[in-house]
Structure 1
Amino acid sequence: MTAAAVLAAYAIVATLAPWRRREPRALAGWAGRAPRLAIAVWLAACASVVASALLAAVAVALPAPAVGHRLAELFEVCAMLFSEGGVPASPFAGAALSCAGLVVARVVYCGAAVLIGAGRERRRHAGMLDVLGRHDGELGAIVLDHGEAVAYCLPGRRGRAVITTGALGSLAPEQVAAVLAHERAHLRGRHHLVLAAAEALSMAFFRLPLFARARSEIARLVELLADDVAARRHPRVHIAAALVRLATGNAPAFALGAGGETALIRVRRMLSPAPPLGRGERLAGLAALGALLAGPAAVVAIPGVGSFLAHHCHTISLF
C-alpha cells in the first residue's frame, strides 16, 4: 500500500500544484533554448501523472507479495486476483481497478473527440481551399485571395501550406520563403498531433492546472520549434520581419499559423537568440525526462521485486 500512497500523492500534488503562468520574457529560459526537449518534458509530466494514478490502482489491487511470490507466473496472479485462494487481494481492488478503467476510458474518449473534431474541420476547410485557393508551384503553397496578411498550414494526409494575397503583398520574397519554411516545419514535425495530445489530456482532466498549463506551453513551444527549423535555412532577420507583418493575422483555430499572440515575443527571440543548451544542461533535461517516464513504474515495481528476492533469496533483503 506504500507504493500506492506514494503514487497517488504524487499525482494529486503534481496535478493541483499552482502552475502560475509567467510572462515569457523573450523566452530565453531553458525551454526557449530547447523547445523540442521542453515539449517532451511537458508531455512526460502529464503522462507520469496519468501513469501514477493508474499504477496506484494496480498497486492497491495487486499487493506486493502477490507479485513477488508469483513473478514468473504473472497471468496466474491476474487470474487469482479476486479468488479466495492464494494471496488475498486488497478489499479495495474492485474500486481501484474500476477507477483506473474510467481514467483510461476518459482519456481515449477525449483523444478520439479531439482528433475526429479537428479532422472534420480540416476536411471542410480543405474543400474550401480546393474551390477558392490556387496552388502556386513556385511557392509550393496554396494562395488564397484575402486582404488580411495570414500564413498557416493545414495538417492532414494532404498537408499544405497556405498564404493569403494580403501576406504576399506585404512581405518581401525572402520573407515569404522564410514563413513558408516555418509552416512546412509544422507539417513535417506533425505538430498537430502533439497539440492534439495536449488538448485531449487537458479536456480529459477538466482543465486541471498541470494539464491546462501543459497545453498552453506546448502550443507556444511548437511555434518556437518551427521558427528554429526555418532558421536553419533562412536568416533570422527575415523570419522576424515576417512575424511582425503577420502578428495580427488570424489563422483558423484548427490550423497552425505563423502569427498569433506570441509573434512579437518570437521576434525578439529571433533577433537576440540565446545560446543552445550546454551538454550538462541537456543531460539534466534528459535525466528529468527519463525520471518522469520511468519513475511511476519503478515505484510500483520495487516492492514486488523486493518481495520476490526476500522470498526466493532469503539472504537478500531490500527493506
Structure 2
Amino acid sequence: MTVAIVLALYVVFAALTLPRLLRRAAWADRAPRLAIAMWQAAGVSVIASALLSAFAAAVPASVVGHGLAELFEACAALLSDEAALNSTSARVALVVGGLILTRVAYMGAAVLLRARRERRRHAEALTLLGRHDFDLDALVVDYDERLAYCLPGRKGHTVITTGALRSLAPEQVAAVLAHERAHLRGRHHLVLAISEAMARAFPRVPLFEQARREVARLIELLADDVAARRHQRVHLAAALVGLATGKVPAFALGAGGETALTRVRRMLHPQAPLGRRERITGVLAVTTLLSGPATLATAPGVVAFLAHHCHSFLTL
C-alpha cells in the first residue's frame, strides 16, 4: 500500500509541478527534439503511475514476487471471488485503473479517427483544386492567401498556394517546403495526436494542457532546424515572415501561424546546440521519467521474490 500511496502522490506532484519546471527549461529551444521527448515522457509517467498505483493497491507485493502464474491466478480470483472484492481499496483501485485505461484508449482513438476523416476530406478537395508541380514536388492550389502546409497521412502531401508562390522568392519556397517535408518524414502529426489525446482525456490538468501547447510549438522549431540543414536560415526566416498571417486547416501542419515571428528571431539569431553532457543529462531525465514508476512499483515484488526464493534455497 505504501508504493500505491507514493505513486499517487507523484501523480499529483507531477501533474501540477512539472509544467512549471519544464517551461522554465531555457535549453528547450536549443534542443526541441529532446524537449518534446521530455514533455511526452512526463505525461506517460503520470498515466503509468496512476495505473501502477491502482495495481499496487489491488495486488499485494508478496503475490507479485511469487511468480507471474500465481499473479494471474490472484488477479482472476480477485475478479471472481466475492470475498476478495469485499476489500474496498481493491475495488476502488481496479475501477480507477480501468477508467484511466479506458479513457486514454478512447480519446486516443477518437483523436486519430477524427483527424484521419478530416484529412481524407481535405485530400479529396485537393485532388479537384490542386495540381502537382513536379519541380516543387508539391501540390499547388490557386488561392490568393499565402499558405504552405503539409497534409499528413499514408500519402502525405506538401501544399502551397499561388499567393505564396507569388510573394516568396524561389529560395524561400524551397526552404519552406523543406520545413513541411520534415513534418511528414518525422510523422509529427502522431506526436501531436498523443498530446491532444492526453489533454482531452484529462482536461484542465496543467501538465497535459501545457504539454499540448508546448509540443505544438516545439514541433515547429524541430522542422525549422531540419530545413535549416539544407537551406540558409535567412531564406527560411523570410518565408516565415511572408506566411505569418496564413491560417492553415486545423488538422494540417503549416509553416506560418502564431509562432512564426518568434521563430524568425530564432532563425536569425541561432543559439549554440546543447553540449554532450547536457544531452546525456536530458536523455537520463527522460529515461527516469519513463522507467521510474515501473521501477518503484515492481521493487516490493522483487524484494518479496528474492526473500521467498532465498528462504526456499536456505531451507534445502
TM-score, normalised relative to structure 2: 0.93
Which of 265, 268, 272 is matched with 2:269 structurally? 272
Name the residue aligned to 1:145.
142
2:11/2:49 contact within 8 Å kept: yes
- Quickly say closer, same or farther: Cα 1:20–1:29, change in 2 above 3 A: closer
Cross-structure match for 1:214: 211
Shift of 1:198: 0.4
Pick closer, same or farther for the CA change 1:124–1:21 going to 2, 3 Å: farther
Q: How far apart are residue 117 of structure 1 and its match? A: 1.0
**Structure 1 residue 164: deviation in Å?**
0.6
* Closer/same/farther in 2, CA of residues 6 and 241 from structure 1, 3 Å limit: same
Shift of 1:31: 1.0
Q: Distance in 2 between matches of 1:89 and 1:186?
A: 52
Instruction: Output the amino acid matched with 1:224.
Output: L
Distance 1:18 1:9 in 2: 13
Q: Which residue of 2 aligns with 1:2?
A: 2
1:201 alignment partner, one of 198, 201, 214: 198
Distance 2:17 2:65 in 1: 35
Richer in helix (by share) = 2
- Go from structure 1 to structure 2 and tell me whether the alpha carbon gap of 1:300 and 1:20 turns closer, same or farther (over 3 Å shift): closer
Q: Does 1:63 align with 2:52?
A: no
Amino acid at match of 2:57: V
State the secondary structure of the residue aligned to 2:131: strand
Equivalent in the alignment of 2:181:
184
Secondary structure, aligned partner of 2:160:
strand
Q: Quick check: 1:110–1:201 contact (8 Å CA) kept in 2?
A: yes
Residues 300, 70 of structure 1: alpha-carbon distance in 2 compared, 3 angstrom cutoff: same
Q: What is the SS of the residue equivalent to 1:92?
A: helix
Deviation at 1:110, TM superposition (A): 0.7
Q: Report deviation, 1:23.
A: 9.0
Give the drift of 1:207.
3.2
Cα 1:220/1:171, change in 2 over 3 Å: same
8 Å contact kept, 1:70–1:77 = no
CA offset at residue 314 of structure 1?
A: 4.6
Cα distance in 2 between the residues matched to 1:239 and 1:51: 40
2:290 aligns to what SS in structure 1? helix
**Aligned 1:1-319 pairs, distance under 5 A:** 1-17=1-17, 19=19, 29-70=26-67, 73-81=70-78, 91-314=88-311
Structure 1, unmatched stretches of 5+, are none
Deviation at 1:229, TM superposition (A): 0.6
Query: Letter of the aligned partner of 1:241 in structure 2?
Result: A
Residues 148 and 167, structure 1, Cα contact 8 Å, conserved in 2: yes
**What's the RMSD between the two structures over aligned residues?**
2.4
**Identical pairs, percent:** 66
CA distance in 2, matches of 1:300, 1:176: 52
Stretch of structure 1 that moved more, 300-309 or 87-96? 87-96
State the distance in 1 between where 2:223 and 2:276 align. Answer: 23
- Give per-residue Cα distances to partners, 1:130-179, cap 9 Å, x unaligned: 11111111100011111111100011121100001110011000000000
Shift of 1:29: 2.6
* Alpha carbons of structure 1 residues 258 and 313: separation in structure 2 relative to 1, 3 Å: same
- The 8 Å contact of residues 60 and 90 in structure 1, kept in 2 or not, is answered as no
Inter-partner Cα distance in structure 2 for 1:131 and 1:141 = 15
Letter in 1 for 2:230: R
Cα shift at 1:193: 0.6
Q: What is the CA–CA distance in structure 2 between the aligned matches of 1:44 and 1:89, rounded to whole Å?
A: 36
Flag structure 2 segments of 5+ consecutive residues without an equivalent. none
Partner Cα distance (2:159, 2:262) in 1: 23
Amino acid at match of 2:102: A
Distance, in Å, in 1 between the alignment partners of 2:298 and 2:126 is 53
Q: Which whole-Å CA distance do the structure 2 matches of 1:114 and 1:290 have between them?
A: 27
Cα displacement (A) at 1:88: 10
8 A Cα contact 1:133 1:143, kept in partner: yes
SS in 2 for 1:161: strand
1:135 is paired with a residue whose SS is strand
- In structure 2, relative to structure 1, the CA distance for the partners of 1:6 and 1:31 (3 Å cut) is same
* Cα displacement string for residues 29-85 of structure 1 (whole angstroms, at most 9, x for unaligned residues): 31111111111111110000000000000000111122223456433333344577x
